[in-house]
Amino acid sequence: MTLLETIDGPRDLDRLSPAELDQLAREIREYLVASVSQTGGHLGPNLGVVELTLAIHRVFESPKDAIVFDTGHQSYVHKMLTGRRDLSSIRTTGGLAGYPQRSESEHDIVESSHASSSLSWADGISRAFEMTGQQDRHVVAVVGDGALTGGMTWEALNNITDDNNRRLVVVVNDNGRSYAPTIGGMARFLNSVRTRRGYRALHQSSRKAFDRLGGPARAVYRGVRGGLHGFLSRFSNNEALYSNLDIKYIGPVDGHDEGAVERALVQARDYGTPAIVHVITEKGRGYEPALRDVADQFHAVGQIDPETGESLVAASAPSWTSVFSEELVRVADADDRVVGITAAMLRPTGLHRMAERYPDRVLDVGIAEQHAVTSAAGLAFGGLHPVVAVYATFMNRAFDQVLMDVALHRAGVTFVLDRAGVTGPDGPSHHGVWDLAILQVVPGIRLAAPRDAERLAEELHEAVQVQDAPTVLRFPKGSVGTEYPAERRTPDGVDVLRETDRRDVLIVTVGPMAGIGLEVAERLADQGIGATVVDPRWVVPVPRSVVELARDYRIVVSIEDGMRVGGIGTRIRQDLREADVDTAVTEIGLPDEFLDHGSRGDILERVGLTPQHIARDVTAMVLGSKLPHARAVPADEEASTR
């Protein structure tokens, strides 16, 4: 039996010797590589926090003490130490979540995987403990150095340091990276601390001295070493960062020296006031393929060969991200006003290609979507056209800036939303399902949803030509797949993908739902129901030709993988009403609920967004309703509608 197999909960760690803890750390890393290589997931971040997580669970008493992970993608080790050793089902339907999840364990506190929020959570929890007399409970917030680029972190620190009556420990897990290398002045400062030779040498010698001492002498040495930490902090200028915040600082500490981390956490815990522990770790620790990967150190992987780190997923069609990435370079070639902005996700959003070609025209602002959007408004004012590329789920964080800084000022800014719609295994906080409902309420905004690679390129070029309003281009995760040519295009840009003489159902598809819409139409035809399928391309504002086409049909069916409540179907219904078109509208989209993790196919099946479900429901509506009867359109009238 391995040591790992004997760990059923955090208190099982208490009996382990330093040598056994080192062995357990090795076993955890070996298991992480073997398991995540089969399922995919966040490998690099978890390899980097093994000793840190062991130390946290030895010093603190979860769940009595609340442990809050910023983003939570580094919580695999935490799961393994809290009764969830088997990661074989992680991120699959019905299996473990890839982030903390309260329904899994009482040890999981915060489920949201959006960065820079952990300190606000910790502030609130610790205040609640203090106000309700729970003085024996601690709060530990584990925040990466990348999250220090987010404004919420500093707003929280401002409030955390407002009083000293709370038992709150902030662990800064400093590995020099968020997804990619951390950027900005904060990153440069922390990097100077990590690379200061004087500190490293003195820290190593002090550790060796500590290991040679007996029990009573160790207690004395801890006090001396605390003084050394204070001296070193001042020597390395770390306290300059936090001194005006009136918060205790310990570090930097070698994050892969479990004993050193443990001692620092004990010191911070025993202060009884808010304290920061600065821990230096290495992303991808112990796994050579990850350490060789300069781009992201195996931040997130699919199925890989555990020995080589090579992907086991055969290359297929180009991804949506790669198509955008290559087309943006062409756009930038043709228009030197175009600049790119990313929020700490240069490579995941595809902006790295433009950065390679035009390094001075791509800006990484860190994990700061709000700042990115308002900065883009300023760039537009200065005569440029910013392209802000973010994951769709993270666009939620900057809604006010889109509304008040971009739209109100009629700024020409293009937002490119990757991972829109149902994304799959990353779970509720990563599905990009709110963008259509949220953004369409912004006055003057224009939303495009390409159905295939050709339309993505086409609509990107169209978007950057708009100089007096925000434009949005949204596309899903994964491969682009099938191209869907149009039978014809209306004067206002709507693509008619399938048209029949018998006008029963007008199917309006949003983006890649075109394939489902076409299959629904075929299934309806088998039931003697005539269906026309259109792709508006630009879904907001609703093109006039969609409204006019709707006049001749018994029912309009909209299909989108955004929220049904407040979605594009709702917008179409409102526009038809304003135009005195009494055609019935049924909106088919996602329910207003948080969707669990699982494959995209499994999720769409569960919510009824499949051709079979939709065709069955529409057939029942058409054949079982009192809708007006369909009519065949005479040739001369049909020609006039073109």
Least confident of 282-286, 347-351, 532-536: 282-286
Taking a C-beta distance cutoff of 8 angstroms, is the pair 41, 74 a contact? Answer: no
Q: What was the pLDDT predicted at 206? A: 42
Whether 397 sits among the annotated catalytic residues: the reply is yes
Express each pLDDT in 593-642 by its tens digit: 998 888 888 999 999 999 999 999 999 999 886 666 655 555 455 444 44
Give the pLDDT confidence of 183-239 residue by residue, as tens digits.
566 566 666 655 554 444 444 444 444 444 444 444 333 333 333 334 334 434 444
Q: What is the average per-residue pLDDT within 416-423?
A: 94
What is the rounded CA–CA span in Å between residue 109 and residue 106? Answer: 7
Annotated binding site for thiamine diphosphate: 73, 113-115, 146-147, 175, 287, 369
Catalytic member of 51, 262, 327, 369: 369
- Locate CATH 3.40.50.970 in the chain: 60-74+99-196+236-285, 320-474
Domain with CATH 3.40.50.920 in the chain: 488-640
pLDDT score at 497: 98
Structure confidence by residue, pLDDT tens digits, 141-165: 999 877 788 888 888 888 888 877 8
pLDDT at 261: 95
pLDDT of residue 194: 52
pLDDT at 356 over 70: yes
Q: What is the pLDDT of residue 248?
A: 87
Does the structure show a pLDDT above 80 at 240?
no
- Residue 314 clears pLDDT 80, i.e. is over it: no
Give pLDDT, residue 326.
97
Poorest-pLDDT segment among 111-120, 588-597, 604-613: 111-120
Residues 259-308 pLDDT 10s: 999 999 999 999 989 999 999 998 888 888 888 876 666 777 778 788 88
Average pLDDT over residues 47-70: 95
Q: What is the dihedral of CA 129, 132, 134, 138, to 10 degrees?
A: 10
CA dihedral of residues 252, 69, 125, 393 (deg, nearest 10): 130
Check pLDDT > 90 for residue 174.
no
Written out in words, the top-level CATH class of the domain with range 320-474 is: alpha beta
Which is the catalytic residue, given 248, 283, 455, 477?
283
Q: Is 64 a catalytic residue?
A: no
Binding-site residue set for Mg(2+): 145, 175
Average pLDDT (496-508) is 95
Q: Name the fold adopted by 488-640.
A: Rossmann fold (3.40.50)
Q: What is the mean pLDDT of residues 118-124?
A: 92
For the domain spanning 60-74+99-196+236-285, the CATH number is 3.40.50.970
**What percent of the chain stands above pLDDT 70?**
85
- Count of CA atoms in the C-beta half-sphere (13 A) of 161: 16
For the question of residue 477 being annotated catalytic, the response is no
Model pLDDT for residues 32-43, shown as the tens digit of each residue:
999 998 888 888
Distance CA 332, CA 346 (A): 16
**What is the C-alpha separation between 637 and 53, in angstroms, rounded?**
71
What's the one-letter identity of residue 16?
L
Out of 397, 477, 498, 554, which one is annotated catalytic?
Answer: 397
Does 102 have pLDDT greater than 60?
A: yes
- Spatial strand order in the sheet of 275-280: 66-69, 139-144, 168-174, 275-280, 248-254
**pLDDT, average across residues 91-113:** 88
Sheet order of strands, 385-391 included:
362-364, 338-342, 385-391, 414-418, 471-474, 446-448, 538-540
pLDDT of residue 589: 94
Give the pLDDT confidence score for residue 598 in this predicted structure. 85
pLDDT value of position 304: 79
Examine the pLDDT at 561 and tell me if it is beyond 80. Answer: yes
